[in-house]
Structure 1
Amino acid sequence: MKTRQKLAVLLAAFTLVIFASFMSVAPAKKGGYDWMKARLDASKTYTMAVLEAMPKDAYTYKPNEDQRTFAAQAYHIVYSIDYFHRAFANGGNAQWQPGDEEAMSKAELIDWANKKFDEMNDFILKQETNDRLTAGVMSYLDHNAHHRGQIVTYLRMKGIQPPNYQ
């Protein structure tokens, strides 16, 4: 089985486990997610800075044949924001159909990322606090951090100083 196929199977399994775990937790007390605003804003700001740091002509860079390009990693991050948002809004139900991860330019990816982060952050901040959603948001932030860490490594491999962590 090719590496990409293995990764797709692992991602699907990981996603099912995460959503099964956060869907099985009972809701907690009433309240909002204002306490999470700073963390959500910092995640967006840092991810956007990392996406901006790679020159547009280097978005096709990948460390080896078995890994995604920088553009594909960026696309995966943004698509996953959309995916998690749809899953949160639909009780854990969302289709994973990312499409062509190489289809967008740097400018298009950055515009899309800004839009998706804003939509997701707005959605989260408007929700009532519950354990199920909190667990899902933690998974969403972990997933973003994981792939953002990968592309920070891509920057370093290209000799580019990554933005300071926020």
Structure 2
Amino acid sequence: MKIIYTSLLLAFVTFLCSSKAQAQQKDSLLSQLSVKWQNATGYALKMAELMPEEYYDFKPVPEQMSFKEQMVHIAQNIQWLSNSYLMNGGTVPKLDAENLDKAGVIQVLKDAYASGLKAHQQLQASELDDIVKFFAGPKTKRQILILLHDHQSHHLGQVIVYLRLKGIKPPPYIGW
């Protein structure tokens, strides 16, 4: 009887630990950031679509990037961080904002955000503390991942101002 009780207790504890591990895996930082990234993708694309093509070269002041340059800069940075630091060795396409129309800008944004999502999905939790050589000094992949989110948010904030200056209401914010 004692053996049966001990076996049942051991099986129950194993089940609880397994369920907790599965729940943590499904609700990990990487899975949460992947969902956030997909929402950021939709948010960025809505802004790119809202701005009429005639205003893609608009600059609030001469020393600022144009709307188009902002969007291409976001795409280029996503490709660079994702492919060079998070996925180790992917190609970073050279993007030239001057030769892109609105449809081309939207496509490079789609491609870049897809690369960013791929980086989120391929990155393992065990790799987050891996060190990479970065221009600002050694950084962990966790820091690069945070930078990836922060940088695109920073520039999308500027893009919101561009839309407002042209009398266009930006889409509602999607955070999570």
In the alignment, which residue of structure 2 is the partner of 1:6?
A: none
In the alignment, which residue of structure 2 is the partner of 1:79?
A: 76
Displacement of 1:98: 5.3
Matched, 1:153 2:161: yes
- Listed one character per residue, the Cα deviations across residues 43-98 of structure 1 (whole Å, up to 9, x for unaligned) are 1111111111101111011111111111111110111111111222338xx98x95
- Give the distance between the partners of 1:103 and 1:79, measured in 2 at CA: 15
- The equivalences for 1:1-166 within 5 A come to 33-88=30-85, 89-90=87-88, 100-129=96-125, 130-131=128-129, 132-166=140-174
- Give the distance between the partners of 2:54 and 2:113, measured in 1 at CA: 24
Gaps of 5+ in 1: 1-29
Q: Give 1 or 2 for the bigger CA radius of gyration.
A: 2
Displacement of 1:103: 2.2
- Listed one character per residue, the Cα deviations across residues 6-59 of structure 1 (whole Å, up to 9, x for unaligned) are xxxxxxxxxxxxxxxxxxxxxxxx988223221111111111111111011110
TM-score by length of 1: 0.73
> What letter corresponds to residue 100 of structure 2 in structure 1?
M
Task: Please tell me whether the aligned partners of residues 33 and 126 of structure 1 are also in contact (alpha carbons under 8 angstroms).
Answer: no
Q: How many residues align?
A: 135
TM-score by length of 2: 0.69
Displacement of 1:150: 0.5
Over the aligned positions, Cα root-mean-square deviation in angstroms equals 2.4
Q: Which range moved further: 76-85 or 125-134?
A: 125-134
Report 1 or 2 for greater relative contact order, CA contacts < 8 Å, sequence distance ≥ 6: 1
In percent, how many aligned pairs have the same letter?
27
Displacement of 1:99: 5.5
